[in-house]
Amino acid sequence: MSAGKLWDIFCKVIDNYGDLGVSWRLASGLAVRGQRVRLWVDEPGALQWMAPQGATGVEVRHWTTPLAIGDLRVGEVLVEAFGCQIAPEFIAAYADQSSLGGHKQVWINVEYLSAQAWAGRCHGLPSPVMDAPGADLKRHYFFPGFDARTGGLLREPDLCARQARFDRNAWLARHGIDWRGEQLVCLFCYEPQALGELLRQLAASASPTRLLVTAGRASAAVKSCINEQSAMQPSWNKRNALSFSYLPNLTQVEFDHLLWACDVNFVRGEDSLVRALWAGRAFIWHIYPQSDQAHRDKLEAWLDLINAPASLREFHRVWNALSPRPLPALDPGAWQATAALARAGQLAQDDLVTRLLGFVEKSN
């Protein structure tokens, strides 16, 4: 383990708290390994439900505009999460202290996760800063990823041990879910066009399903679909084969528990993709849509990486509105083996914090 350094991590909450989720996991993961971290975030209030327990060694600071620096000593490692454009006042202080010498400083941009080949080619590359106040400095690009050429994935040292101790029945009972052996499906999504089709399929199935719906956009989308279905066909779920449990905002720890409890996990964004991977259950990824359709190639690269069977590929394409075909039926029995193999392959590699610490040591 490297000697403890002071890290300044900057994060801006865009719209869905995924950036903050990754930044918090990174900050707390560094602290567990003996580092000191200041996490600067423009919406720190979200951490009250995401990580109310805090983390020893992590200080959360409100990123205001302008940012009052005063006589603050900047850390040895500066991290901007996802190119968030760190406050110029802080960059100026960083540049001033870098020019004075005394200790080597490293500026890193932790980028978005991708399974595409270019991530490995670009990982670790330096980039000169051309504009003031950071002119003549350089930052390095650090790409999370799925192979040895990239920065790896966030994973806590005790993750597997915690999962092995998890009590599914106790967790469900604690959340007031009267589980009677039905299939459990986690739904964490945006507003997929195929959501109504999924609900109809599950309602028509001979086997019962309980949908555990996360708070926010997923809950709103499900309730809207139910209203539409009931208006068009009041008897669409007359056998009550499909039941619903609406969950409150979950801490990061409780979100893991949700994924461990379910048979199939629908997840969205990047932080939850990684958590679903560690859960080892069959899962579907709702990738963040981009106007230039760049998410299509990103999704296909991920499906290639895990060697997804044809049924899983087509389900992903329809769920992400990248195919006009009808939504295939859920097939968790066939998809489970794919998830288990993907998890095992990633567990055999170093995690992101381990690789990041090694990268910083080499840069000093």
- Span 215-274, pLDDT tens digits: 999 999 999 999 999 999 999 999 999 999 999 999 999 999 999 999 999 999 899 999
Dist. CA 276–CA 302, nearest whole Å: 14
Query: Does 101 have pLDDT greater than 70?
Result: no
- Name the pairing type of β-strands 58-62 and 36-41: parallel
- Residue 75 and residue 186 in one domain: no
- Residue 32 and residue 172 in one domain: no
Residue ranges making up the domain that contains 357: 6-153+350-363
Q: Which of 210, 214, 218, 211 is nearest to 247 (CA)?
A: 214
- Residue 317 and residue 356 in one domain: no
Residues catalogued as catalytic: 19, 270
pLDDT at 29: 98
Q: Which of 15, 48, 51, 12 is nearest to 31 (CA)?
A: 51
Span 183-196, mean pLDDT? 96
- Residue 272 and residue 173 in one domain: yes
The CATH number assigned to the domain holding 293 equals 3.40.50
pLDDT at 1: 46
- Residue 185 and residue 145 in one domain: no
pLDDT at 219: 98
Tokens representing 295? 């998410």
Question: How does 141-160 read in b/e, with b if 16+ C-beta sit within 10 Å?
Answer: bbbbbbeeebbbbbbbeeee
The band of 102, judged by pLDDT with boundaries at 50, 70 and 90, is: low
> Which amino acid, one-letter code, is at 207?
S
H/E stretch holding 243 = strand 242-246
Tell me the pLDDT of the chain averaged across its residues. 94
Angle between helices 195-204 and 217-232 in degrees, nearest 10: 60
- Residue 166 and residue 146 in one domain: no
Query: Does 202 have pLDDT greater than 50?
Result: yes
- Residue 147 and residue 190 in one domain: no
**Nearby residues of 299 by Cβ (< 8 Å), 6 or more positions away:** 285, 287, 316, 317, 320, 322
Span 295-322, mean pLDDT? 96
Query: Does 51 have pLDDT greater than 70?
Result: yes
* pTM summary value: 0.95
pLDDT at 291: 78
pLDDT at 352: 98
pLDDT at 195: 98
- Residue 197 and residue 325 in one domain: yes
Query: Does 2 have pLDDT greater than 70?
Result: no
pLDDT at 103: 58
pLDDT at 98: 77
Span 125-153, mean pLDDT? 91
- Residue 55 and residue 43 in one domain: yes
Query: Does 293 have pLDDT greater than 90?
Result: no
Cβ atoms within 10 Å, residue 164? 7
Q: Percentages helix, strand, coil for the chain, rounded to the nearest 5?
A: 40, 15, 40
Q: Give 251: exposed, middle or buried? Use CB within 10 Å, 0-12, 13-18, 19+.
A: middle
Query: Does 96 have pLDDT greater than 90?
Result: no
pLDDT at 35: 97
Dist. CA 262–CA 52, nearest whole Å: 24
**Nearby residues of 295 by Cβ (< 8 Å), 6 or more positions away:** 287, 288, 289, 320
- For residue 1, tell me if it sits in a domain: no
DSSP three-state, residue 119 = helix
Please tell me the total count of domains within the chain. 2
H/E stretch holding 120 = helix 117-122
Tokens representing 119? 């991530």
Q: Using one digit for the tens of pLDDT, what is the confidence trace for 115-129?
A: 999 999 999 999 988
